Structure 1
């Protein structure tokens, strides 16, 4: 486990620093690093299926 201070580090970096502003559209991973998303997370068909399932749940 990590300290509470690490909890929002990446989001704060992206939203409040000049460097973070230049990373618009990039995939950030802990702790404030640019990463590569898993291939399945970029599949539009899986996204639609997930969206549909989530709507059924609420």
Structure 2
């Protein structure tokens, strides 16, 4: 059960990073590199979260 909760939390964190990457062009303080990194990090967190959530204990 604990791995499933970790997976769900990683999926939610990935969604948060994806939203941050979408808002990035409207915030002039944030650099383009940070927006790109947050986009890739959201994909990685989402994939790891799905693997942990669906993995049998």
The structure with the largest strand share of the pair is 1
Specify which structure has the bigger relative contact order, considering alpha-carbon pairs within 8 angstroms and separated by 6 or more residues: 2
Which one has the largest radius of gyration?
Answer: 1
**Pairwise same-fold verdict (TM > 0.5):** no
Q: TM-score of the superposition, structure 2-length normalised?
A: 0.29
TM-score (norm 1): 0.28
